[in-house]
Amino acid sequence: MRKDATASGHSAACHRLTRLFPRIARQMRRYQDGTTPPTATELGPRHVATLEQLRDGPLVVGDLAARLGLNLSTASGLVADLDRAGLVQRSTDPADRRRTIVRIDDANRPTVTEWLDGAAAPLARVLDQLGDDERRAFLKAMDLLEVELGREQEPTVDG
């Protein structure tokens, strides 16, 4: 833990959260595994995250990789898995034939939507217990944590 976190008086909350996050992530993975469509039994949490990114429309695989924080090869593998499961369609970008566009398969969109909604159900139930201000504060904290963790992983340049 960085010095400024312990000096700020938040160390007890930080310790509690660092213990909670792995357990929550593990339980969410178990829940998602239990809601996996029968045609997609080999899929896991990264596939859920990939489909969630595609929920609102098609994406170029490179953009999908960036949104997921993955390298292009890993994102392409996830897309290939989802394609084999019949959940997405891949096509060549007509504007740049080097790029691949991926979208949720129209025929399986209801199945995908049901899976995504099911995977998010525990989180939705918790958020429903919060007031509007609490929900905004929680989401703001998660956004700030994501930015901070990203900052921690950036290479530093010694001047």
Per the structure block, which two tokens stand in for 105?
């398969």
DSSP state of 90: E
For the structural domain made of 40-149, what CATH number should be given?
1.10.10.10
d(C-alpha 131, C-alpha 65), whole Å: 34
Amino acid identity at 73: S
pLDDT at 51: 92
* Domain range summary for the chain, segments of one domain joined by +: 40-149
Concatenating the DSSP letter of every residue in 9-58 gives T-HHHHHHHHHHHHHHHHHHHHHHHHT--GGGTT--HHHHHHHHHHTTS-
> How many C-beta neighbours within 10 Å does residue 136 have?
11
Q: What is the pTM of this model?
A: 0.68
Q: What is the pLDDT of residues 36-48, one digit of tens each?
A: 665 666 777 788 8
Q: Are 21 and 35 in contact (CB under 8 A)?
A: no
Q: What is the pLDDT of residues 74-126, one digit of tens each?
A: 999 999 999 998 899 999 988 889 999 999 999 999 988 888 888 788 889 99
Closest among 96, 111, 122, 116 to 53, alpha carbons compared: 116
